[in-house]
Amino acid sequence: MKFEHYGIGIAKGMALTFKHLFRKPITTQYPEERLTVSRRTRGNELVWDKERCTGCATCAKSCPEGCIEIITSRGEENNYIVDKFEVDMGRCIFCGLCVEACPFEALFMGYAYERARYRRQELVMDKEALLLSGERQPSGYARPKIEAGLPRQTLLLDRDKVKK
Ligand code: SF4
Ligand code: SF4
């Protein structure tokens, strides 16, 4: 006859339950408390460096969703002037192929993850919305030089170190 028939199984289960009752919770009280995401995160925005972009449209050609639209005109030095650079983040699948394909390191995945909107049209990012600026933090995804300078990801194990 097995011991469980004498209630040992229940006792074991209850012991485990009680053990967890006294453990420190590892949940995060978002949005009051935010964890630092992975340095290589593929957030829900793209970041564009206007100065480095040549308007070659390699990123747009690499996008499997066709959600990057670029319109260029010819400049005085036979260069491209980017008149329109628009990304429909509502269709983007955050694959990062456009970032990997950019030969001039002018496009980055963003660090942001709070871009929920009520209307799909509001997810379309134009040149100004994509522009690399102080507010927009590029992710280190496919950009090892940037990755090295980004803060370390907060793991739930390190939760005690998270500033509240
Ligand atoms: S991340 Fe992928 S789906 Fe999104 S714009 Fe870039 S290539 Fe297209
Ligand atoms: S691939 Fe890079 S350089 Fe070419 S248009 Fe896209 S962002 Fe600009």
CATH number at residue 107: 3.30.70.3270
Segment 100-119 shows an average pLDDT of 94
> Ligand 2, from 52, 56, 83, 97: best to mutate by most atoms within 8 Å of Cβ?
56
Q: Hey, which residues does 81 pair with through a beta bridge?
A: 73
In this predicted structure, the answer to whether residue 4 has a pLDDT above a threshold of 80 is no
* Domain tally, the chain: 1
End-to-end CA, the chain: 54
Which carries the bigger pLDDT value, residue 142 or residue 4?
Answer: 142
pLDDT at 70: 98
Q: Which of 94, 141, 140 has its CA nearest to residue 115?
A: 94
- Domain around 59: 46-161
Calpha distance 27→156 (Å, rounded): 8
Calpha distance 73→37 (Å, rounded): 38
Segment 118-143 shows an average pLDDT of 93
Segment 132-158 shows an average pLDDT of 88
Do the domain assignments include residue 6? no
Q: Which ligand is nearest to the CA of 90?
A: 1
Query: Structure pTM?
Result: 0.82
Q: Which of 109, 105, 81 has its CA nearest to residue 95?
A: 109
